[in-house]
Amino acid sequence: MKAAVLALVLVALDAQAQGMQPGEWEFVSEVAVPGMPAQQTAYRSCLTAAQARDPMAWDRGRRLPADCQVSEKLAPGSVSWTIECPSSGMRGAGKAQLSASSMSSVLEMSGGVATKTRGNRVGPCKP
C-alpha cells in the first residue's frame, strides 16, 4: 500500500495551482504487482486550504524514505513527476490530470509495480 499512499501524495503536488478545490475528496487506488492480484483501496481525505497550498506536507517524512528525491513538472491541469530513492532502490514516474473536482493518476515504479488513482471532490469537509 506504500505505492498507493505515495501516488496520492505525488498526485496532489501543488493542488491549488492546478485548480483542485479544498474539501472532502474520495479516492480509489488500484495497485498492481506482477504475479499478484491487483488490490483496490477506497478512502476519503479532507483537503484543507492550508494543505492545498502545500500538499507535499501531508505525509512529509512519514511514508517516504528520507533520501527520496521527487522532481515535478507542472502544466495547466496536469502534473508529472519522477521519484528516486537510492536507499530502497525505488524509482518511478507518474502523471496526473487534475481539475477542481476530479483527478486521475498513474504511477509506475521499478519492479513493474503500477498504481492508478482516481478521485472526486464530494463536498465540504465534515466537522
In the predicted model, is pLDDT for residue 93 greater than 60?
A: yes
Residue type, 109: M
pLDDT, position 126: 85
Instruction: Please report, for the chain, the start and end positions of each structural domain, with discontinuous segments joined by +.
Output: 2-123
The fraction of the chain above a pLDDT of 70, given in percent, is 73
* SS3 per residue for 1-65: CHHHHHHHHHHCCCHHHHCCCCEEEEEEEEEECCCCCCEEEEEEEEECHHHHHCHHHHCCCCCCC
Over residues 56-87, the pLDDT tens digits come to 455 444 467 778 888 888 777 788 889 998 98
Task: Look at the pTM and tell me if it is higher than 0.85.
Answer: no
In the predicted model, is pLDDT for residue 40 greater than 60?
A: yes
pLDDT, position 11: 47
The answer to whether 115 and 7 have CB atoms below 8 angstroms apart is yes
- The CATH code of the domain at 2-123 is 2.40.128
